[in-house]
């Protein structure tokens, strides 16, 4: 059975990925800094570990646990992440450091810790969870955007460094997905949330399992020739100019004067 590590697995995309891989016959270690919220994994019979990915020692612990429990590692899904909104004037440098500490340093530390085990795998793969914010920017989200852009640079560079060893590395760039990270937005700013939904051609936010299925593909032999890629799964949100549309059921007609 192939073996996977999934970080940020207490909730959202990480949890859905751990569940999906486990259902698909993988041995899975679900890791998260929130030990209480990992309870779902124990109930499902999935191995879990409390670990903070921004700490080098915790990454070493996770990988020691992988080795002790399963004897190796085939796929490192380094998914843990935090938000970090705020204008360039308002967001303190210390808060920026926290965002980078988890989103970027966490991925780098995870890769460094995982490589010795991945080098013994017959189908080694790494997936980092970037974001559509990793390929475009938005106002008052510079810290998060910078961290997610950096992950794509990491993927592109390491694909060229590790490809000769057969190690594939890719990024998933999720669009808006209903998780703990975004639930608050729906509750606290429902009108803004509704407007954001309208900007997605598919007219809805993703379910976490729709991201997990892409990760499952990226770590599977079906993606054996895919590396260095930033795969966007965003309901079509990123392909428009943003000036017009998308077409919606409520306002289906784009005035001819705009597009002709």
Ligand X SMILES: NC(=O)c1ccc[n+]([C@@H]2O[C@H](COP(=O)([O-])OP(=O)(O)OC[C@H]3O[C@@H](n4cnc5c(N)ncnc54)[C@H](O)[C@@H]3O)[C@@H](O)[C@H]2O)c1
- The residues assigned a catalytic role are 144
Q: Strand, coil or helix: what is 55?
A: coil
Q: Is 95 in the site for ligand X (CB under 6 A)?
A: no
Q: How many residues bind ligand X (CB under 6 A)?
A: 29
Minimum CB separation from ligand X for residue 253, in Å? 30
| Interactions with ligand X, residue window 178-207 (CB under 6 A) | 179-182
Q: Is 80 in the site for ligand X (CB under 6 A)?
A: yes
Q: How many CB atoms lie within 10 A of CB 77?
A: 31
Residue 170 in tokens: 């890719």
Residue 67 in tokens: 């080795």
Minimum CB separation from ligand X for residue 122, in Å? 28
Handedness of CA 9, 214, 230, 236 (dihedral sign): negative
Cβ nearer to ligand X, comparing 52 with 74: 52
Q: Is 174 in the site for ligand X (CB under 6 A)?
A: yes
| Cα(233)–Cα(230) distance, integer angstroms | 10
Helix (H) or strand (E) holding 75: strand 75-78
What are the Cα distances from residue 225, in Å, to 117, 125, 170, 193, 211?
Answer: 21, 11, 11, 38, 20
Q: Is 82 in the site for ligand X (CB under 6 A)?
A: yes
Asked whether the beta carbons of 253 and 226 are under 8 A apart, the reply is: no
Minimum CB separation from ligand X for residue 255, in Å? 31
Interface pick for ligand X out of 2, 3, 5, 7 (rule CB under 6 A): 7
Q: Is 121 in the site for ligand X (CB under 6 A)?
A: no
Q: Is 2 in the site for ligand X (CB under 6 A)?
A: no
Applying CB under 6 A, the residues found at the interface with ligand X are: 7-8, 10-14, 32-34, 37, 52-54, 79-82, 102, 106, 129, 131, 174, 176-177, 179-182
């Amino acid at each position: 059975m192939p073996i996977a590590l999934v970080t940020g697995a207490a909730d959202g995309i990480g949890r859905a990925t751990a569940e999906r891989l486990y259902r698909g016959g993988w041995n899975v270690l679900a890791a998260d800094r929130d030990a209480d919220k990992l309870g779902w994994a124990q109930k499902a019979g999935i191995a879990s570990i409390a670990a903070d990915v921004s700490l080098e020692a915790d990454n070493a612990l996770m990988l020691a646990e992988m080795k002790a429990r399963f004897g190796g590692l085939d796929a490192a899904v380094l998914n843990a992440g935090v938000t970090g909104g705020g204008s360039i004037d308002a967001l303190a440098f210390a808060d920026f450091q926290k965002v980078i500490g988890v989103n970027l340093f966490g991925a780098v530390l995870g890769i460094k810790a995982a490589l010795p085990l991945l080098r013994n795998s017959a189908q080694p793969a790494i997936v980092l969870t970037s974001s559509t914010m990793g390929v475009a920017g938005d106002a008052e989200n510079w810290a998060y955007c910078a961290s997610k852009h950096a992950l794509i640079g990491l993927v592109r560079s390491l694909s060229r460094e590790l490809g000769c060893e057969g190690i594939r590395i890719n990024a998933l760039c999720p669009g808006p997905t209903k998780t703990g990270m975004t639930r608050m937005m729906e509750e606290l700013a429902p009108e803004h949330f509704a407007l954001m939904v309208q900007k997605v051609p598919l007219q809805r936010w993703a379910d976490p399992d729709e991201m997990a299925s892409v990760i499952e593909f990226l770590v599977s032999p079906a993606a054996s020739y895919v590396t260095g890629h930033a795969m966007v799964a965003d309901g079509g949100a990123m392909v428009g100019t943003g000036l017009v549309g998308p077409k919606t059921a409520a306002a289906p007609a784009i005035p001819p004067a705009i597009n002709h």
